[in-house]
Amino acid sequence: MPYHCVVCVKQVPDTKNITGEAMKDDGTVNRAALPAIFNPEDLNALEMALAIRDQYGGTVTAITMGLPKACDVLRECLFRGVNRGVLITDRRAGGSDTLATSYILSCAVKKLQADIVLCGRQAIDGDTAQVGPQLAEKLEIPQISYVEELREITDKGITVKRNVGNGHEVVNCELPALLTVMETANTPRPPRVRCMMRMKKARCSTEVEQQVAKELGKDNKDAVTAESAKRFSKLADDGLIIEQWSLEEIEADLQWCGLAGSPTKVHRVQSIVLAGGDYKEFPPTDEGVAAVVAELIEEHTIG
């Protein structure tokens, strides 16, 4: 039986290369100043969705909530062969914490009617691993987190192996269901050259408008609108559209979105750089090991 898989992918700041001012005064992340990358574990979630399609048939839709620039990760998905890319973008979604993010994603996933929803275990910026489980709650579907292997999908549901820290468990649940996928689950396939050649021109409507405004000058409003519409319909004819949905189009209740819908406020983000020099040497003897353990217990690092 074919399945419709929806994969939630996130564009994240490359936290290993923080350059400009990471935070804005209102406590939200200054994403424009940070190099952006594809959240690593979302590539594993994408790979699992594509493997399900390879084995059982069906379609794969990739969705992301973010600025129009986040279309870069949707193009990476299109380069790997997904059927559809959807951007949820709206200024009123800015500053969304995990609660608001999962609410907005749930409105989009409901509109897509998925059999299987796949998320990465966690994003490398917020690092909360909360969005996947929260999204499942809002969709009122079962969730299996920390998935490391897909065993099978039958009319009795989906069976996977998940990591429980000091071992594994094999879990089965009915569909629709949500999985959060670990980086150890698979090796993401590389982009396909033919797909890249074709899909590198794929754009969402805002990207087209921004490009035309750059060429014609943004004050030429009527000319920009007319030319953007012409180019966008050409892209549509060529199947090179990245769909773009606002909060209205996913029928989201604004009180649960953005800063308004976010009880969590990110107070400060800073890079922690571990400086050398503050270390202590212990002799490689039983007494030395005992002294290390005693010190770690005293510091409440272990025990």
Ligand X SMILES: Cc1cc2nc3c(=O)[nH]c(=O)nc-3n(C[C@H](O)[C@H](O)[C@H](O)COP(=O)(O)OP(=O)(O)OC[C@H]3O[C@@H](n4cnc5c(N)ncnc54)[C@H](O)[C@@H]3O)c2cc1C
Q: Which residue is nearest to ligand X (CB)?
A: 126
User: How far is the C-alpha of 228 from the C-alpha of 230, rounded, in Å?
Assistant: 5
Tell me the CA end-to-end span of the chain in Å, nearest whole number: 50
Taking the least distance from each CB to ligand X, the nearer of 61 and 101 is: 101
Closest approach of ligand X to the CB of residue 23, in Å: 8
Nearest alpha-carbon partner for 89 in 108, 75, 110: 108
- Token pair of 43, please? 């590539």
Nearer to ligand X, 130 or 220 (CB): 130
Alpha-carbon distances of 98 from 106, 133, 159, rounded to whole Å: 12, 10, 27
Closest distance to ligand X from the beta carbon of 79 (Å): 18
Which residue's structure tokens are 């949707």?
A: 74
Q: In what order do the strands lie in the sheet with 116-120?
A: 168-173, 157-163, 143-154, 177-181, 116-120, 3-8, 58-65, 84-88, 243-245
Nearer to ligand X, 128 or 210 (CB): 128
* Closest distance of CB 98 from ligand X, Å: 4
Considering the complex, what minimum distance in angstroms separates the CB of residue 55 from ligand X? 22
State the helix-helix crossing angle for 221-237 and 205-216, rounded to 10 degrees. 130
Minimum gap (Å) between residue 41 Cβ and ligand X: 5
Smaller CB separation from ligand X, 215 or 251: 251
Residues in contact with ligand X by the rule CB under 6 A: 8-10, 29, 39, 41-42, 45, 64-66, 96-99, 101, 105, 119-120, 122-123, 125-132, 264, 266, 269
Amino acid making up residue 70: A
- 18 or 229, CB closer to ligand X? 18
Q: Specify whether the CB–CB gap between 247 and 93 falls below 8 A.
A: yes
Helix axes 131-139, 98-112, angle to 10 degrees: 50
Instruction: Between 147 and 224, name the residue whose CB sits nearer to ligand X.
Output: 147
Minimum distance between the CB of residue 48 and ligand X, rounded to whole angstroms? 12
Q: Least CB distance from residue 143 to ligand X, whole Å?
A: 12
Where are any strands of DSSP class E within the chain? 3-8, 11-13, 36-38, 58-65, 84-88, 116-120, 143-154, 157-163, 168-173, 177-181, 243-245
Nearer to ligand X, 120 or 188 (CB): 120
